[in-house]
Chain A
């Protein structure tokens, strides 16, 4: 078992950074100091995971990336939207893609 201290909760923009999280066998088993939402999100972080699919078929990551790249390259007016619950490091890459394909980039701050 390992205990992580001063964990930052990422589920809302309060970013409370004083959580204590216990991890056992790669499972989060206990969350201290978080609010009810944050605790539930962390405890259930590994359930209800999305599946890798393309056109409702299960595919490999490689295939999915090929299909996604094809869609984005072919599009004449693509939109990249969201980016509100991911890291700045990922956001940078998304902007670089937007520049490559001439996309519009937007996030939930616009409405």
Chain B
């Protein structure tokens, strides 16, 4: 919510002393959002056209003609070619550009291929200027679990230990796919609310199997989970490390006492119980 004021559009920096002035904000989205209202340019694209958009921008930056798009009246993803040309020009000529991208890009048609193409676009822009891409992560410390999994196992998610060492295979070992195929026979949910976020088929399978939940508050998963172990929420009732979406680690504080132990304490006790059983 404070991304605008603290980190992006309004933030003043050593080389952007005027804050919002002197910056150009472009929003590409399928609908007019409050963010889009605050932008200098808003390009409203058709849903599911991310891949097309990134490819068109790559072509324009390379000075290539888009063969099947009329230079005068043509459109790409529902937006005029002229607008894309202006955007390409702006990206190429800025001093320092950043693309913030969110789940609209990662979860729409094309999925990880959209991201691959976006990163290719960013890579190519670096031949002209400084350009970065930063994923907008939702949950407080999803960046942290990606980091710790990577430094311990080599992989950021979808890690399987059934052979005694870490194996990585998104699609085979990713939550939506595994639950969708009904392969899982017990689930341990920690500090996340799958009842609110996962697709219905995945939630329905979770409801059929023994599911254990570690969670401070009642949510859409706790009512049907077989075991619910309440914990003190991180950053309120327990201290520890969180990683910001741009990978900056911070120590979160304990502010008040809770009647419950922290995740860390419960998990350590459970680990010892399993190891010694």
Contacts and interface: CB of A to CB of B under 8 A. Distances in A.
Touch test A–B (CB under 8 Å): yes
Interface of A: 4, 7-18, 21, 23, 26-28, 34-38, 42, 45-46, 48-55, 61, 64-69, 71-111
B1 A83 contact: no
B227 A107 contact: no
Nearest to A93: B267
Given A48-B217, A76-B185, 6 more contacts: A13-B136, A14-B245, A49-B217, A61-B261, A90-B240, A94-B267
Contacts of B148: 88, 91-92, 95
Contacts of A16: 2, 6
Nearest to A56: B226
B142 A8 contact: no
Contacts of B219: 50
Interface of B: 1-3, 6-7, 107, 136-149, 152-153, 156-164, 170, 173-176, 178-179, 183-192, 194, 197-198, 210, 212-219, 222, 226-230, 233-245, 248-253, 255-264, 266-271, 273-275, 277
Contacts of B137: 13, 109
B205 to A, nearest CB: 10
Contacts of B107: 111
A99 B229 CA distance: 21
A109 to B, nearest CB: 5
Contact of A84 (B7, B136, B192, B252): B192
Contacts of B210: 71, 75
Nearest to A71: B210
Contacts of B273: 65-66, 69
A88 B146 contact: no
Contact of B264 (A10, A53, A87): A87
Given A65-B266, A111-B175, A13 B138 contact: yes
A51 B104 CA distance: 35
B235 A97 contact: no
A15 B253 CA distance: 12
A80 B274 CA distance: 15
B139 to A, nearest CB: 3
Contacts of B257: 26
A68 B270 contact: yes
Given A53-B227, A68-B229, A106 B237 contact: no
A69 B272 CA distance: 10
A84 B252 CA distance: 14
A108 B188 contact: no
16 contacts: A36-B1, A45-B237, A49-B230, A66-B273, A69-B270, A75-B210, A77-B185, A81-B190, A89-B240, A93-B270, A98-B161, A100-B271, A104-B158, A104-B160, A104-B161, A109-B156
Nearest to A37: B1
Given A13-B140, A85-B139, A50 B145 contact: no
Given A28-B255, A84-B191, A90 B262 contact: yes
Contacts of A55: 226-227
A73 B277 contact: yes
A82 B192 contact: yes
Contacts of A21: 255
A86 B234 contact: yes
A36 B215 CA distance: 22
A18 B250 CA distance: 12
B209 to A, nearest CB: 8
A108 B136 CA distance: 13
Contact of B183 (A61, A74, A77, A83): A77
